[in-house]
Amino acid sequence: MDFAFFILQFLNGLASASSLFIAACGLSIIFGVTRIVNFAHGSFYMLGAYFAVTLAPRLMESINPFLGFWGGILAAAMIVGLLGVLMEMLLLRRIYHVPELFQLLATFGVVLIVQDLVVLIWGPEDILGPRAPGLKGAVNILDQRFPEYELFLVAAGPLILGAIWLLFRKTRFGVLVRAATEDREMTDALGINQKLLFTGVLFLGASLAGLAGALQIPKEPANGFMDINMIAEAFVVTVIGGMGSVPGAFLAALLIGELQAFGILLFAKSTLVLAFLAMAVVLILRPQGLLGKPAVNTEHSEFASSIPLRPWPRWLVLAWLGAIVVFACLPFVVDSFTLKLAIEVMVFALFAMSLNLLIGLGGVISFGHAAWFGVGAYAAGLLAVHSHSPMLLALAAAPLAAGVAAALVGAFIARLSGVYLAMLTLAAAQLIYAIAFQWTGLTGGDDGLVGAWPDAWAKSRVVYFYLTLALAGGAVFALRHIAYAPFGYVLRAGRDGPARAEAIGINVAAARWVAFTIAGMAAGLAGGLYTFSKGSIDPTVLSIPTSVDVLAMTLLGGVHTVLGPVFGAAALHLLQDFAMPITDHWRLILGGGIIAMVLAFPEGLVGKLRSWFMPAEETP
């Protein structure tokens, strides 16, 4: 590697570090003050790009190219800032005091809504933006050509950092933002000012995201994947830098930018792997991130419940037995298509139950549960397609592979908690997604694997139905059993009162790790069953939307219920199946539904039913 090349690669790294920093720092600022991890940050970024490709060309024509371009960029950032204000006033204000999981889900609801709105307004095609006037050429650096626009980006990051620094030191607003980030209780003492502060912070954070997206347009067309692609990287940057720290985000962006610039020479395709490994190393050495403050150990989990797990009354046992018998008779009365639906419902019921072991019992917010479902699905699919193994062997490999993967990831994230854990599970899922997507030789890449059909004896859908009923049903009831066993109690104890649990000898982190592994295995089994029910598998099973679907199912059923997720899975999957063919706006509906659910009945369907049918706990 000669010197000139090295310098150029370094400059490339700086340019992408700048983009990353501008995109991520707003996320960190918003978290610092409001303690909300704003998933919709990626949507702000994408909207910034779309507004810029719409406004800039028009302004360039009507005013002049230079003023028009930069005016368009700034206007896009401002509009997105105002949308941030809108979101704060309409949604965030209502959820500052709900558990973190609900906050994450509600902001993800916004992501889904924005995705559909973008298609509605701008159409499904990518939109090319104009090049920056005056920065279209390239300069010579050590006899190598380097684009002027990239050079501008190299400068833009430090400029923004400086501007934020001035804002935080010299204005009253900035001083309040810093104070609120340092001391959470202070914000409650602010009274009337608090609302203004939070709204202002959303304007600042959202407009920064919008600016980052707008600055992207000379390099990449505005497209519908910008939000999800960006949010995973922004999470990595904020976590490495330390949640709430702007200089930390800058350092982390530099680290990731340079790592990717040089890493691309080593592993051409999987720069995300490098970013993730960097994050793992930083978190092992400094769990609070480079410049973050150590998290205060909360003595009380936000997810604590006051509803005991009572043994089932006799009528409920009988009702379940009856329901299972009726369900098992389905093949005699329904057509093949409905049977397929029933199989999928069982698969998702197991998937949702496995997630509820973590969330409901452990209070562990996993936002990347699709990872384990996907690992199981791919393990089964790879064995079936590449080595033609018998189906039962492939089905046995699914939970094993997923369990091993979950145990590995869990080993270093189980001791974390709250939003850190949520973001890391998501990052881990994105990493596995990237592997499945990019390792084309093994996984078939985007197209996935085809031809993973059941063995001859199980080809008939009726046989596969009973096989799924036995395996998924058995696993669901095994998970239910665990909830009533000492280990289930230990998990709940760690959720309700971690300090108390440790003081009676319970190793909370170890219990969570075991739960992570068991949940991974159960999700992996669901994934394996899914593969053979479809005959094919592609990376969407590993994607964020899959993780969110299963979260929505769990939530819909009720996290503090034992078998609620089974109903949540059935309800959501059936709804999806009926609604998808008749509407183009499924994401809009799902997103709106998730937000409504978080606001209206966070205890879930079954939780709601229980509060109607079971006598309430009276206060002595």
Partner 1 sequence: MSVQLSVQGLCKRFGGVVASDDVSFDLKSEEHLAVIGPNGAGKSTLFKMIGGQLRPDAGQIRFDGHDITKAGPRAVWRSGLGQTFQITATFSSFTVRENVQIALMSLNRQTRNLWAAAHELHRDEAQALIDAVGIGDFAERSCGVLAYGDLKRVELAIALASRPRLLMMDEPTAGMAPAERRALMDLVTKMARREGMGILFTEHDMDIVFGHADRVLVLDQGCIVAQGSPDAVRADAKVQEIYLGTGGMADERV
Minimum distance, C-beta of residue 407 to partner 1, in the bound complex (Å): 15
Overall residue count recorded for the chain in this entry: 620
**Residue 489 engages partner 1 in binding (rule: CB under 8 A):** yes
DSSP alpha helix (H) spans, 139-225: 148-170, 172-182, 184-189, 192-215
**Residue 499 engages partner 1 in binding (rule: CB under 8 A):** yes
Minimum distance, C-beta of residue 380 to partner 1, in the bound complex (Å): 25
**Residue 504 engages partner 1 in binding (rule: CB under 8 A):** yes
566: helix, coil or strand?
A: helix
**Residue 500 engages partner 1 in binding (rule: CB under 8 A):** yes
**Residue 525 engages partner 1 in binding (rule: CB under 8 A):** no
- Single out the residue of 7, 78, 82, 307 in contact with partner 1 (rule: CB under 8 A): 307
**Residue 2 engages partner 1 in binding (rule: CB under 8 A):** no
Of 143 and 299, nearer to partner 1 (C-beta) is 299
- Assign residue 304 a region: left if phi > 0, alpha if psi is -120 to 50, beta otherwise? beta
Which stretch in 7-15, 236-244, 438-446, 484-492 sits in contact with partner 1 by CB under 8 A?
A: 484-492
Angle at 285 between CA 283 and CA 289, to 5 degrees: 45
DSSP alpha helix (H) spans, 306-439: 314-328, 330-333, 336-356, 370-386, 391-413, 418-438
Distance CA 389, CA 156 (A): 55
20: helix, coil or strand?
A: helix
Distance CA 583, CA 580 (A): 6
Would you say 289 and 279 are in contact if contact means Cβ atoms under 8 Å apart? no
Of 488 and 568, nearer to partner 1 (C-beta) is 488
Question: x-or-dash pattern for partner 1, window 423-462, by CB under 8 A?
Answer: ----------------------------------------
- Assign residue 505 a region: left if phi > 0, alpha if psi is -120 to 50, beta otherwise? left
- Single out the residue of 124, 486, 581, 615 in contact with partner 1 (rule: CB under 8 A): 486
N-to-C CA span, the chain: 76
Pairing of strands 536-537, 144-147: unpaired
Which stretch in 175-183, 445-453, 498-506, 543-551 sits in contact with partner 1 by CB under 8 A?
A: 498-506
**Residue 496 engages partner 1 in binding (rule: CB under 8 A):** yes
Amino acid (1-letter code) at residue 159 = L
Of 258 and 496, nearer to partner 1 (C-beta) is 496
- Single out the residue of 222, 414, 482, 525 in contact with partner 1 (rule: CB under 8 A): 482
Of 143 and 618, nearer to partner 1 (C-beta) is 618
Q: Label residue 531 exposed, middle or buried (CB < 10 Å: 0-12, 13-18, 19+).
A: buried
Q: Name residues contacting partner 1, limited to 543-562 (CB under 8 A).
A: 560
Minimum distance, C-beta of residue 611 to partner 1, in the bound complex (Å): 13
Distance CA 386, CA 538 (A): 15
Q: Name residues contacting partner 1, limited to 286-305 (CB under 8 A).
A: 299-300, 304-305
**Residue 316 engages partner 1 in binding (rule: CB under 8 A):** no
For 141, phi then psi, to 5°, come to -125, 115
**Residue 323 engages partner 1 in binding (rule: CB under 8 A):** no
**Residue 119 engages partner 1 in binding (rule: CB under 8 A):** no
Which stretch in 29-37, 243-251, 493-501, 589-597 sits in contact with partner 1 by CB under 8 A?
A: 493-501
**Residue 619 engages partner 1 in binding (rule: CB under 8 A):** yes
How many other C-beta atoms lie within 10 A of the C-beta of residue 528? 34
Minimum distance, C-beta of residue 363 to partner 1, in the bound complex (Å): 10
Amino acid (1-letter code) at residue 141 = I
**Residue 488 engages partner 1 in binding (rule: CB under 8 A):** yes
283: helix, coil or strand?
A: helix
Of 175 and 499, nearer to partner 1 (C-beta) is 499
* The pair of three-digit structure tokens given for residue 400, joined into one six-digit string: 């094993």
Which stretch in 139-147, 230-238, 428-436, 497-505 sits in contact with partner 1 by CB under 8 A?
A: 497-505
Q: Label residue 16 exposed, middle or buried (CB < 10 Å: 0-12, 13-18, 19+).
A: buried
- Residue count at the site for partner 1 (CB under 8 A)? 39
- Single out the residue of 142, 485, 579, 580 in contact with partner 1 (rule: CB under 8 A): 485
| Helix/strand/coil percentages in the chain, nearest 5 | 75, 0, 20
Minimum distance, C-beta of residue 414 to partner 1, in the bound complex (Å): 15
Distance CA 91, CA 302 (A): 20
Q: Name residues contacting partner 1, limited to 66-95 (CB under 8 A).
A: none
Minimum distance, C-beta of residue 318 to partner 1, in the bound complex (Å): 19
What radius of gyration do the chain's Cα atoms show?
A: 25
Distance CA 105, CA 103 (A): 5
Minimum distance, C-beta of residue 185 to partner 1, in the bound complex (Å): 15
- Chain residues that interact with partner 1, rule: CB under 8 A: 299-300, 304-309, 311, 481-482, 484-490, 492-493, 495-497, 499-507, 511, 514, 560, 617-620
